[in-house]
Amino acid sequence: MQHADPTIHLDELAAAAASSSNGDPAASERAARELAEIATTMGDETLALEANVWACVHLLRRGELRQAVEESNTVRVRLRRERPGTRLGSARMELLRTIALAASETGQFAIALDAAQELAGDPAVHADAGAAFDAAFSLAVCLERMGDSWQAMRILTEVIDRHGDAAPSFPMLYALNAVTATAIGAFHRTSDEADPSGASELLDIARSAAERALLLLDDFANPIYRVAVEGNLGEVLAYQGDLDGAERLLRAALHDAEEIGAAAHRDRVRASIGEWLVLSQRHGEALELLDRLIVELDADGPHSTRIRAHHAAYLAAKALGRSDTALAHLETYEQLERHRTTGQLRSQSEMFVTKSEAKAEADRHRTTSERDPLTGLGNRRHLSRLLRHLLSPGDPTRPVALAMIDVDHFKSINDELGHATGDTVLVELAQLLRDEVRDDDSVVRYGGEEIVVVMPNTGVDEASDRSNRLRERVEQHVWPGLDPSWRITLSIGVAVAPPCDPDVVVSAADRAMYQAKRDGRNLVRTASAHDIRDATPTAILRP
């Protein structure tokens, strides 16, 4: 497609292509692809990527689920490194949500869970209520489609309880609709059990959520959610016995879905109408509708819709006395359920392995990121994590002592003998301190020539004595390659916690160390309880 002037009507095209567009999904997809082409011609890679994401969103809305997964995964590779909070970072989150939803519907649970888990791990989820709803919604849909409706409801209920007051009304709308859908799913899985009260309670939960969502629909022009909410509520009413109310909602939802070309929603509503016909004792009409739907869905149709269609067709055929037809639908229904269960177990197993591998990789990364490359000691990040762990119980009967060590006149070593010699002294000092401390002590390079020794279960007097022994050991040490006229000494400040937070104890030890320098160097000075109480937490542990 050639464009004489690529900038003509760009704003109008972007409005039609955007994922928030309320138009025909097919037309919006075409606009997104045209926008991507124009943006590429203009050299605007950000806009091109954004348009590609929108095209994937519209594929999902059209019901082209496998194509949506395939194209989304291709675009995902190009967005993987985008930072949260940026324009493309937001597009990446939208793409992950699309993958999770489309892959869930096609039974590609490993792909769906991977995208949902990555979305849930995005830092924006912890900072923004709308992002938290997106992540919870995507993960809940995965779990519901895999058959774990109860876990899905738990996730959705928690995010509504935690972020409901701060969430925009649109995320609240789709979260409530998701609660309705997951409660319906749980109802279908319990309706054959001996406890009818449990199934009835699930329908009450579904209806309450759907009616709350219905009240929010007037604030939005998005017809997709009107289809979803009305279709779900119609299904609930059917199973609660309000067949007239159910028919009105289901027929309206089907009409709207056909009007906007939302194939996946349309087919789900058709399955619901088939179930409504069964409940209305119109078994011949139900079987005709459901058989036609099953043929049109084929193997690539939404997995959950195929399960529902075959189950309703089984019930209709059984009521008509058509045993062979009923048996065929029952066998297919059970095969699809087994496939879903197997997929759930396989995906959970793969996710367990992936999480185990990720934890091992995180441990390896932490080991690297918390290690000073010159001396091999822990670094400031390691000290922060260590102290927050040791001080978190806040038990005054188990004190933690900290010795802040500074090499006296270290600048002179660097200036007169060179930085290479200075580095050699630091490496030798690190090893010397490691050799002298106890097994449960930790030695950390705090920065420059400053080193910290953390001594768990050590009171102030013992910490002071041990610091003096370290100081004397270093003073007496013969330094290889260093002229004997050079004498290495330490100034050490000691502070003991609790009661204080990690930043306070480090600050108090730091002040005591500078007091040792002011008093003449090669000394140990201890922070008093008054010094610690008055120390200001300056967040000096931040790396």
Burial of 196 (0-12, 13-18, 19+ CB in 10 A): exposed
Please check whether residue 223 is in contact with residue 259, taking contact to mean a CB–CB distance below 8 angstroms.
yes
* 472 within 8 A of 464, measured Cβ to Cβ: no
Rg (CA), the chain: 33
What tokens appear for 202 in the block? 């699930």
| Whether the Cβ atoms of residue 202 and residue 168 lie closer than 8 Å to each other | no
Burial (CB count <10 Å: 0-12, 13-18, 19+), residue 5: exposed
Q: Which helix (H) or strand (E) holds 412?
A: helix 410-417
490-497 and 524-526 as β-strands: parallel, antiparallel, unpaired? parallel
Question: Reduced to 3 DSSP states, what percent helix, strand and coil does the chain have, rounded to the nearest 5?
Answer: 70, 5, 25
449 is an active site residue: yes
What number of helices (H) and strands (E) belong to the chain?
Answer: 23, 5
3-state secondary structure of 454: strand
Q: In what order do the strands lie in the sheet with 524-526?
A: 442-447, 450-456, 400-407, 490-497, 524-526
For 296, 309, 335, 418, the CA distances from 271, given in Å and listed in that order, are 12, 5, 18, 80
Ramachandran assignment for 107, one of left (phi > 0), alpha (psi -120 to 50 degrees), beta (any other) = left
Q: Which of 29, 71, 118, 449 is catalytic?
A: 449
Contacts of 160 (CB under 8 A, 6+ apart): 167, 172, 175, 176, 179
Question: Rounded to 5 degrees, what are φ and ψ at 152?
Answer: -65, -45
Amino acid making up residue 325: T
- CB atoms inside a 10 Å sphere around CB 129: 18
Active site members? 449
